[in-house]
Chains A and B, each alone.
Chain A
Amino acid sequence: MGAWRSYRLRLQRKRWRIRAFRKRRELAEIANRTAAIKPKDILVFSTLRNERIRLPFFLKYYRDMGVNHFVIVDNNSDDGSREYLADQPDVSLWTADASYKRARFGVDWLNWLQLKYAHGHWCLVVDPDEFLVYPFCDTRPLRALTDWLDASSIKSFGAMLLDMYPKGPMDAQPYREGQDPFEIASWFDSGNYMVEKNSKFGNLWIQGGPRTRAFFYDNPERAPALNKVPLVKWDRSYAYVSSTHMVLPRGLNLVYDEWGGEKASGCLLHAKFLDTFSAKAAEELERRQHYAGSHEYRAYHQHLKDDPDLWCKWSEKYINWRQLEILGLMSKGNWA
């Protein structure tokens, strides 16, 4: 990469940081418990809207994994999410009533809070329907991973978004509060992913999975991106560019090996396709606050009317991380 391009990316990174600084005014503090964050704590950052029913399991999942503190931006929920989160002892909560879209889908808000509170911490940026799975996650806490990454001088950890879906119509099994969503949405596509390199930001661009198969089969270039870099040893000079798909400086996007080897990676199990989905899709279609004119939600809406089943004969049932690693969706790298 030439010096000019490198300089341009630096300017871009600064721009996102300035933007985050400006957008800080949109955040209203509800419960700030960040004083309790200790130097080596692992933090989760998240933006959400009306996810009350998912929250208990979400918090439990990451607490069990060893996350010490949650920093959450509530985008104008009216289902009790705000009150519930404000009561949690390890959650710091902000609300934002402004436009989700104009905060670049929450990225600006989180960039600001990360700039302020995540410096020097391992920090995981996930949505409330994303559940991190990493090698040995059944026997080793998240700190084992971050300690290993630290020892190996690795600053970021990639985890591909893996869309999970139930067998049969999406609303056949209602999701109960506190339930493991993967008891219902326990199926996934094991081998229809398409990878390309984004030479500008140095990240991989991954598409595929059930969404491409069922909603974007005639228009695959518009299918949503699945590549993510959710776990980063944060520095206040970093900035996410678009969701957690890309981060600057671009070296952090290099979570893959280009010389034939495999780096360690995980998966973000995506519990989007539950019975809550159709209501959400309808609402988001109304709000038009999502990426690219919410075309994604339009496509879902259109296809789900006719045939709401994502399951097919070749769907794979989720067992554990070892299964994902054998299938080649994630890798242990040289972590043994």
Chain B
Amino acid sequence: MTVGIVMLVHEAFDRAEQVARHWATHDCPVVIHVDKRVKRGAYSSFASNLSDLDNVKFCGRHKCEWGTWSLVAASQTASEMMLKSFTEVCHVFLASGSCLPLRPVEEMVEYLGDRPMTNFIESVTTEDVPWTVGGLDAERFTLRFPFSWKRNRRLFDAYVRTQRRLKFKRRVPPGIVPHLGSQWWCLTRQTLSAILEDPEREAYDRYFKKVWIPDESYYQTLVRLYSTNIESRSLTLSKFDFQGKPHIFYDDHLQLLRRSDCFVARKIWPHANKLYDGFLSNAAKLMTGAEPNPGKIDRIFSKAVERRTKGRPGLYMQSRFPNEGWENGQTCAQYSVFEGFSELFEDFDQWLNRMVGARVHGHLFAPERVNFANGQPVFSGALTDSPDVRDYNPRAFLTSLIWNTRGERQCFQFGPRDTQDLNWFFAKDPNAQISVISGAWAVPLFHSNKNFSDIRREAARLQKIEAVHLEVLRSFYSKARVRIWTMAEFVDNPMEPLQTIIDEIGARSPNRLAEAPKMVSLDGFGQFLQNLKNQGMQPHLMGDFPAGSDPVNNPRKPRKPYLVK
């Protein structure tokens, strides 16, 4: 009772020889199929190097090409030879030249000896396969594939499209239900010989010759006809990337492979000396008796696939530069934009800093300079405060800032005086929390000591800019969490909106706000607006401010600096 190894080899003959020798010297007969496209010299030296072992045989050669019947034909020829020449073989294990046994051969023989009737072959119906690449799963069995996918990709694709359009369907032979699975299997003599000696084999072969990637479906389908004792998993640890190519193992995977407790792994990089030396030496033979557990390796490789297909959200760099709409997150974390708050409150930055555990910047997009928190000239990631650099690529500036400060929420002020290039970017970013007190830009003008005609001109300009900005924020495409209050609304009842915003950011203490920021004096602001109106400008973004002389209509005491609610 032993295990026979069928090996398909087409390159890295030194490694294939090393592995074949390893199997053979541990009493596992080996039948090797060498691709016919291999040059005669390489083949004969490979064969002669192994000629000292009488339980290593070479079978007839087929010209092999990925995705075609030739690979099945190769395994059939080799399996037939195996069953005929080595009668003591009970299980046949299909391996490639770049497979490497990870556990002592004796242990594998013992494992299979304990399960003499079990076929280890991944075999899943087409409906349940999540991993097929390129959308061809059930269609593998119902279309024809006369063109090479590797060499004539366009013809291949065009022919598939045509067949789909014509609703062409091949008939699946009666009695078989298409199954798919890893092409690396381990079958019992009984099952394998039943497949190979079936009187219907010719019909099946004829059908599968035109199936796409038959080495992933031929045995996987037919095994269901002859055996009910199927463990639908492969004994070979083999991971595939998003394009269906196998992941390769290197020296630095040594510990990972050790811990996986799998019997055989593929594909191993031929120059991974440490792996070959480590796993093929007789010194490190530990019989663990453990069940194969490829979980950890699975995680690493599925992470790699995710990195390649989804990437890190909010990252723009040399090898990830998504087209618009494909960012999978325009920025990498949530941030807050405050508009009009620092104009309306004297010490808003400091106050906000006390209330929330976040970094509070000034006007990052101010025309004079980038106002980083605490007036720093350079900020995280070595972003400079130069407005030229920022305005040269504002999107890069913002996304870098948010990326560089992962783990710390960023808050900054914004207003109509600032660079407006990112209007749409903000609006479309679900990570942005935008709170606007519309019209508050008028407060600094109100307090300024400029000529009124200049103030009027500036007010008109800022109002126009903010109107456009608000339109963008309110647009149908906006995905940001936008809150807009007119200044009049806000001044009327500032605590509630502030509480909402702070709650959303995540306050330092879960209690209600005990302290309000100090509002600037607005005495005479109504009159100021009225003056603007009198000059022919219509300040409409502030809302309905009690116009005219407020001392008469609304005798107000000076605000207390702090309001306790």
What residues make up the interface of A, taking CB atoms closer than 8 Å to B? 136, 139-141, 143-144, 147-148, 151-152, 158-160, 189-197, 204, 206, 208, 210, 212-213, 216-221, 227, 255-265, 312-316, 328-336
Is there contact, CB below 8 Å, between A265 and B319?
yes
**Could you write out 13 A-B pairs with CB less than 8 Å apart?**
A151-B245, A189-B382, A193-B396, A194-B393, A195-B316, A218-B388, A260-B322, A262-B311, A265-B317, A314-B383, A330-B318, A334-B304, A334-B307
Cβ contacts under 8 Å, B192 to chain A = none
Tell me the bound Cα distance from A328 to B312 in angstroms: 9
Is there contact, CB below 8 Å, between A204 and B326?
no
Stretch from B135-143, B183-191, B373-381, B532-540 forming part of the interface with A: B373-381
> What is the distance, in angstroms, from A321's C-beta to the closest C-beta of chain B?
12
Cβ contacts under 8 Å, A316 to chain B = 382
Cβ contacts under 8 Å, B80 to chain A = none
> What is the distance, in angstroms, from B148's C-beta to the closest C-beta of chain A?
14
Is there contact, CB below 8 Å, between B308 and A262?
yes
Given A189-B382, A191-B403, A195-B396: A333 touches B317 (CB 8 Å cut-off): no
Is there contact, CB below 8 Å, between A221 and B403?
no
> Which residue of B243, B245, B303, B400 contacts A193 across the interface (Cβ within 8 Å)?
B400
Given A140-B252, A219-B388: A192 touches B320 (CB 8 Å cut-off): no
Given A158-B319, A192-B400, A193-B396: A334 touches B308 (CB 8 Å cut-off): yes
Is there contact, CB below 8 Å, between A336 and B300?
yes
Cβ contacts under 8 Å, A264 to chain B = 319
Is there contact, CB below 8 Å, between A313 and B318?
no
Whether, in the assembled complex, B161 has its beta carbon less than 8 Å from a beta carbon of chain A, the answer is no
Tell me the bound Cα distance from A221 to B393 in angstroms: 10
Given A213-B382, A217-B384: A333 touches B392 (CB 8 Å cut-off): no
Is there contact, CB below 8 Å, between A213 and B307?
no
User: A204 — nearest CB in chain B belongs to which residue?
Assistant: B321
Cβ contacts under 8 Å, B376 to chain A = 313
User: A328 — nearest CB in chain B belongs to which residue?
Assistant: B315
In the complex, per-residue mask of B384-428: 1 if CB is within 8 Å of any chain A CB, else 0: 101011001100110010011000000000000000000000000
**Which residues in chain B, 217-269, are within 8 Å of chain A measured between CB atoms?**
241-243, 245, 247-248, 250-252, 269
**Which residues in chain B, 268-317, are within 8 Å of chain A measured between CB atoms?**
269, 271, 300-301, 303-305, 307-312, 315-317
Whether, in the assembled complex, B17 has its beta carbon less than 8 Å from a beta carbon of chain A, the answer is no
Tell me the bound Cα distance from A319 to B310 in angstroms: 27
Tell me the bound Cα distance from A12 to B381 in angstroms: 39
> What is the distance, in angstroms, from B309's C-beta to the closest C-beta of chain A?
5
Is there contact, CB below 8 Å, between B304 and A335?
yes
Whether, in the assembled complex, B350 has its beta carbon less than 8 Å from a beta carbon of chain A, the answer is no
Is there contact, CB below 8 Å, between B383 and A192?
yes
Cβ contacts under 8 Å, B403 to chain A = 191, 328
Cβ contacts under 8 Å, B320 to chain A = 256-257, 260-263, 331
Whether, in the assembled complex, B323 has its beta carbon less than 8 Å from a beta carbon of chain A, the answer is yes
Tell me the bound Cα distance from A45 to B393 in angstroms: 34
Whether, in the assembled complex, B489 has its beta carbon less than 8 Å from a beta carbon of chain A, the answer is no
> Which residue of A139, A189, A216 contacts B250 across the interface (Cβ within 8 Å)?
A139
Is there contact, CB below 8 Å, between A260 and B309?
yes
Cβ contacts under 8 Å, A208 to chain B = 396
Is there contact, CB below 8 Å, between A195 and B317?
yes
Whether, in the assembled complex, B328 has its beta carbon less than 8 Å from a beta carbon of chain A, the answer is yes
Cβ contacts under 8 Å, B397 to chain A = 194
Is there contact, CB below 8 Å, between A259 and B323?
yes
Cβ contacts under 8 Å, B347 to chain A = none
Is there contact, CB below 8 Å, between A314 and B381?
yes
Apart from A213-B384, A333-B304: 16 A-B pairs, beta carbons within 8 A: A139-B252, A191-B383, A191-B400, A195-B396, A208-B396, A213-B389, A217-B384, A219-B388, A255-B318, A257-B320, A263-B320, A313-B378, A328-B312, A328-B403, A330-B318, A331-B319
Is there contact, CB below 8 Å, between A260 and B382?
no
Is there contact, CB below 8 Å, between B301 and A336?
yes
Tell me the bound Cα distance from A262 to B311 in angstroms: 5
Cβ contacts under 8 Å, A256 to chain B = 318-321
Is there contact, CB below 8 Å, between B250 and A261?
no
Tell me the bound Cα distance from A150 to B211 in angstroms: 27
Cβ contacts under 8 Å, A328 to chain B = 312, 315, 317, 403
Cβ contacts under 8 Å, B396 to chain A = 193-195, 208
User: A335 — nearest CB in chain B belongs to which residue?
Assistant: B304
User: B252 — nearest CB in chain A belongs to which residue?
Assistant: A139
Whether, in the assembled complex, B327 has its beta carbon less than 8 Å from a beta carbon of chain A, the answer is yes
Is there contact, CB below 8 Å, between A258 and B321?
yes
Cβ contacts under 8 Å, A139 to chain B = 250-252
Is there contact, CB below 8 Å, between A210 and B382?
yes
> What is the distance, in angstroms, from B3's C-beta to the closest C-beta of chain A?
29
User: B242 — nearest CB in chain A belongs to which residue?
Assistant: A334
Is there contact, CB below 8 Å, between A258 and B323?
yes
> What is the distance, in angstroms, from B214's C-beta to the closest C-beta of chain A?
22
> What is the distance, in angstroms, from B155's C-beta to the closest C-beta of chain A?
18
Given A152-B243, A158-B318: A192 touches B250 (CB 8 Å cut-off): no
Tell me the bound Cα distance from A141 to B271 in angstroms: 9
Cβ contacts under 8 Å, B309 to chain A = 260-261, 334
Is there contact, CB below 8 Å, between A330 and B381?
no
